[in-house]
Amino acid sequence: MSVATLPEIMDPAFRERYGVAAFNAVDDITMDGLIKAAEQARSPLIIQISVKTVKFWGAEVIKDMFMNMAGRVSVPVTLHLDHCPDPEVAKSCLKVGWKSVLFDGSALNYGENLKITREIVQFAKQYGASVEGEVVPVRGVEDGVGSDSVSDLLPVQMELDFIRDTGIYCLAPAIGTAHGFYKAAPVILYDRMQYLVETTKMPMVVHGGTGLTDEVFKRLISLGAAKLNISTALKKTFADGFSNYLAAHPTEYDPLKLIGAVRNDVVKMVLPIFKLFGSEGRA
C-alpha cells in the first residue's frame, strides 16, 4: 500500500533537501498519468486537487479513485486539497479520508485566518491529517502582477506567529512566486525563505512553480522547500494533448487512443521534474 500522509512524504524530503512535486490532477487521466510517472521514476508524489475539481467530481469519488490508483503502486503518494478558502469544503474532504488540506485564509484578516486555520488543524488531527497554511496570498499573474512587491508583504514575524499559534504542518510563504504564467521574471525572496526555515525548522511549500527556472527551483529546495506546486504546466499539457492528437487524427474516433496519448503526454511532462527536484529514485 503506497497511500502516504503528507509528513511521510515531506519530512524525508525536507531532511535530505530534495523537493516533491505537487501536481494538480483534474480527472482520472491526469491522476493515472502522474502516478504512473512517479512509479516509473521511483519518486514520491503529491497529487493535489483544486476546490473547483472537488465540486466537479465530489470529494468521495476523487478519494476512492485516488485510493484505488495509488494503492496499486509501491511509491508513496498522497492526496492534498489545494487552496481551500471554505472551512466546510476542507472538513468535508477530511471527513471522507483525505489526509491533507491547504486551508487558505489569506483573503481574511489575520485574526480570522488564525482562528479558522487553528480550528481546521484541530479537526484534521482527529483524522490523522495535516494542514498547510497561508498568511499572505500567493498572487495570480492574471492580476497583472508578476510577483509580490516587497512593500506589500506582511512582516515575516506574522508568518512566524501564525505557524506557532495554528499548529500547521507546513507553510506556503510569500516569497515572490505567483500563480499562472509569469510575464516577467519574479523576484524571489530567498532570504525570507531561509529565515523562515532556520527559525521554524518547518518544510516550506512553493506555489506558482510553472515557469520558474531550474536554478530557482534548486536554490529554493536547498533552502528547505519540500513541496513545489505545479498546476498551470499540467493544465497546458492536458489541453494541448487533446488538441495535438485530434489535429493529427481528425477522423479516428478512438477515445482510448486519444486519452492514452494525453496520459502519455502527462507522463512525459512530469518525469524531468522528478529528476530536477531530486526526488527521482528516492522511493
* Catalytic residue positions, numbered: 82
Cell numbers for 236, please give them.
497546458
CA distance 127 to 125: 5
Q: What is the DSSP string of 76-129?
A: -EEEEEEEE--HHHHHHHHHTT--EEEEE-TTS-HHHHHHHHHHHHHHHHTTT-
Residues 135, 152 contacting (CB under 8 angstroms)? no
CB of 104 to Zn ion, least distance (A): 8
Stretch that binds Zn ion, among 130-138, 158-166, 191-199, 216-224 (CB under 5 A): 130-138
Whichever of 36 and 207 has its CB closer to Zn ion, that residue is: 207
CB of 82 to Zn ion, least distance (A): 6
Scan residues 202-241 and list those touching Zn ion (CB under 5 A). 207
In 143-174, which positions are buried (b, 16+ CB within 10 angstroms) versus exposed (e)? eeebbbeeeebeebeebbebbeebebbbbbbb
For the chain, the residue count is: 283
CB of 229 to Zn ion, least distance (A): 5
Stretch that binds Zn ion, among 91-99, 131-139, 197-205, 264-272 (CB under 5 A): 131-139
Whichever of 94 and 178 has its CB closer to Zn ion, that residue is: 178
CB of 72 to Zn ion, least distance (A): 28
Burial class of residue 126, CB neighbours in 10 A (0-12, 13-18, 19+): exposed
Whichever of 91 and 179 has its CB closer to Zn ion, that residue is: 179
263 binds Zn ion (CB under 5 A): no
Element (DSSP H or E) covering residue 152? none
Binding-site string for Zn ion from residue 149 to residue 188, where x marks contact by CB under 5 A and - marks none:
----------------------------------------
Whichever of 174 and 259 has its CB closer to Zn ion, that residue is: 174
Residue nearest to Zn ion (CB): 207
139 binds Zn ion (CB under 5 A): no
Size of the site for Zn ion (CB under 5 A): 2
Whichever of 134 and 280 has its CB closer to Zn ion, that residue is: 134
Stretch that binds Zn ion, among 1-9, 69-77, 112-120, 199-207 (CB under 5 A): 199-207
Residues 152, 187 contacting (CB under 8 angstroms)? no
Q: Cα–Cα–Cα angle for 20, 98, 9, nearest 5°? A: 25
User: Which positions touch Zn ion (CB under 5 A)?
Assistant: 138, 207
